């Protein structure tokens, strides 16, 4: 007898997933205390994820709040086919993409902040503070040039440790699309980082995948 996806998902959950599933079920019953627990657990995590995924810091708090509100309103619709974390981050991804479409940055307006610097603050533990700051700025500017989907894919993979299958669930796309976005993002970073660092390198137009 073939095991269902939901059955495999339940079998493979770790204790943290089970705890979050219990919280989601309680939220679905209208338990405000359970929602407060999820809010405490995810507010900072979602904020860091979104800050690294877009330079539009003016949208981050709004998207976090929209995501958590959607969790409160929609917890009863979580079927358990994926990890609770994947479901919540999928809501955040959709909310961010909608916010970017609804409120595009006006031409000539500066981005409201650089998104990735804090995430790689320890990229160069050795050496002087000036060198670390230069490396951080260099990598941050390279990531800022990536299309949102590519940048978000790298964030999910390398900062949050999500698998390609989990990223596909979160971003509602095929696993092959996830792998393609990671490939194009790495190629683009290899091309742009030398140029940003003052070395020869091509800065091409952003990939659309």
Same domain, 137 and 120: yes
The residue written with tokens 């595009």 in the block is 104
Query: Based on the domain organization, do 133 and 201 belong to the same domain?
Result: yes
What number of residues does the chain have? 209
pTM over 0.85: no
Phi, psi of 35, deg, nearest 5: -65, -40
Is residue 161 located within the same domain as residue 142?
Answer: yes
- The Cα 115–Cα 123 span in angstroms is 15
Could you tell me if 108 and 127 lie in one domain?
Answer: no
Q: Which of 113, 130, 155 is the last residue of a domain?
A: 113
Into how many domains does the chain fold? 2
Same domain, yes or no, for 124 and 206? yes
Q: Please indicate, yes or no, whether residues 53 and 106 belong to a single structural domain of this protein.
A: yes
Query: Tens of pLDDT along 143-161?
Result: 888 888 998 998 898 878 8
Question: Of the residues 113, 129, 154, which one is the last residue of a structural domain?
Answer: 113
Distance between CA atoms of residues 139 and 115, nearest Å: 11
Q: Cα–Cα distance between 60 and 207 in angstroms, integer? A: 24
Q: Which of 9, 12, 37 is nearest to 24 (CA)?
A: 37
Q: Which CATH number fits the domain that encloses residue 51?
A: 1.10.1740.10
- Whether residue 8 lies inside any domain: the answer is no
Domain boundary among 113, 132, 158: 113
Question: Residue 193: which CATH number?
Answer: 1.10.10.10
84 contact partners, CB below 8 Å, separation of at least 6: 17, 20, 21, 23, 24, 78
Query: Is 7 within the bounds of a domain?
Result: no
Q: Does some domain include residue 3?
A: no
Please write the tens of the pLDDT for every residue from 22-68.
999 999 999 999 999 999 999 999 999 998 888 788 899 999 999 99
Task: Answer yes or no: is 145 within a domain.
Answer: yes
* Structure tokens, 196: 């940003």
What range does the domain containing 49 cover? Answer: 15-113
Please state at what angle helix 57-74 crosses helix 32-53, rounded to 10 degrees: 150
* C-alpha span between 35 and 6 (Å, rounded): 24
Residue 46's CB is within 10 A of a number of other CB atoms, namely: 24
Same-domain pairing of 156 and 78? no
Q: Is residue 9 part of a domain?
A: no
Q: How many CA atoms lie within 13 A of 30 on its CB side?
A: 0
User: Residues 50, 63: contact at Cβ < 8 Å?
Assistant: yes
* Structure token pair of residue 61: 């708090």
Per-residue pLDDT reduced to its tens digit, 65-84: 999 999 999 999 998 888 99
Q: Single out the residue of 56, 20, 54, 57 nearest to residue 37, CA to CA.
A: 20
Structural domain contains residue 2: no
Residues 28 and 58 in one domain: yes
Same domain, 80 and 150: no
199: Cα within 13 Å, side-chain hemisphere: 7
Per-residue pLDDT, 125: 42
For residue 134, pLDDT beyond 90: no
Specify whether 97 is located in the same domain as 174: no
pLDDT for residue 145: 83
């Amino acid at each position: 007898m073939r095991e269902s996806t939901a059955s495999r998902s339940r079998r493979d959950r770790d204790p943290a997933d089970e705890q979050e599933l219990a919280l989601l079920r309680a939220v679905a019953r209208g338990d405000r205390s359970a929602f407060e627990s999820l809010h405490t657990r995810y507010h900072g995590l979602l904020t860091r994820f979104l800050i690294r995924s877009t330079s539009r810091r003016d949208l981050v708090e709004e998207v976090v709040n929209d995501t958590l509100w959607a969790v409160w309103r929609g917890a009863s619709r979580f079927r358990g086919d994926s990890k609770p974390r994947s479901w919540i981050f999928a809501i955040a991804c959709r909310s961010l993409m909608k916010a970017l479409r609804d409120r595009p940055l006006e031409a000539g307006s500066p981005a409201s902040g650089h998104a990735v610097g804090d995430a790689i603050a320890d990229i160069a533990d050795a050496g002087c503070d000036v060198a670390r700051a230069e490396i951080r700025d260099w990598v941050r500017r390279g990531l800022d040039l990536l299309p949102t989907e590519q940048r978000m894919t790298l964030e999910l993979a390398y900062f949050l440790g999500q698998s390609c299958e989990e990223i596909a669930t979160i971003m509602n796309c095929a696993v092959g699309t996830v792998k393609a976005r990671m490939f194009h993002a790495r190629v683009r970073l290899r091309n742009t980082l030398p140029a940003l660092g003052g070395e020869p390198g091509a800065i091409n137009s952003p990939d659309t995948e």
